[in-house]
Amino acid sequence: MKYKIIPVTPFQQNCTLLWCEETKLAVIVDPGGEPAILSKTIEELGLKLVKVLLTHGHLDHVGAASKMARRYSVPIVGPHKDDAFLLETLLEQSARFGLEHSTPFVPDRWLDEGDTVKFGNVELLVRHTPGHTPGHVIFFSESTRLASVGDVLFAGGIGRTDFPRGDYQALISSIRNKLWPLGNDVQFIPGHGPMSTFGEERMTNPFVADRM
């Protein structure tokens, strides 16, 4: 599996293309906006988009999901159904954050703990990781030791929990009980900012390091 991070929107959200090297079939994780840029990248790489994947329902992660799904006639997969309330309020989120209007939608498939998502010869494992939002999920490739974690964990930080239905203790539990067991060697792509590894964060992250 290969990947390319494409920062979008004024929030510089890490939209990510993941694709199977053998088949060139691809998924796009958290297309938060700027669909023209995303489509151009897909075409330049010679990929065939087969799914839109969502980690959670905040606008900067889903703003272009419907447009990409319609353009490529592909399903929207994720997040967990507990984020339905966020997808129902996308117009209000648009007004609050001053981003391009995004109309409410319902994914073609909700995700839950232990589900898998497949494209080409790639399989991603789903973990339900509430805290930043109640329906947040992450995607993990065991074969390439790569995780797409949305806004659960950052290099040197963790997701905010002051949004509606955020839960600090649930977030810490998700990181320690859902992410750390995947392995210290796992590289992760956060929703914003640079990549890191779980091992590095266990040593240095001021919120969730093992010494805390």
Contact 189, 146 (CB under 8 A): yes
Q: Is 11 a domain residue?
A: yes
Q: Compute the residue count for the chain.
A: 212
CATH number of the domain to which 55 belongs: 3.60.15.10
Distances (CA, A) of 9 to 40, 99, 160: 16, 8, 18
The number of distinct structural domains making up the chain is 1
Do the domain assignments include residue 46?
yes
Does 176 fall in a domain? yes
Give the three-class secondary structure for 104: coil
Give a yes or no: residue 199 inside a domain: yes
Within-domain flag for 212: no
- Structural domain for 197, as ranges: 2-204
| Three-class SS state of 124 | strand
Positive or negative, the CA dihedral 141, 144, 148, 149 is positive
Q: How far apart are CA 100 and CA 181, in angstroms?
A: 38
Taking only the tens of pLDDT, the chain with its 212 residues reads: 999 999 999 899 999 999 999 999 999 999 999 999 999 999 999 999 999 999 999 999 999 999 999 999 999 999 999 999 999 998 888 777 767 778 899 999 999 999 999 999 999 999 999 999 999 999 999 999 999 999 999 999 999 999 999 999 999 999 999 999 999 999 999 999 999 999 999 999 999 999 87
Q: Is residue 209 part of a domain?
A: no
211 within some domain? no
What is the model's pTM? 0.96
Indicate whether 156 belongs to any domain.
yes
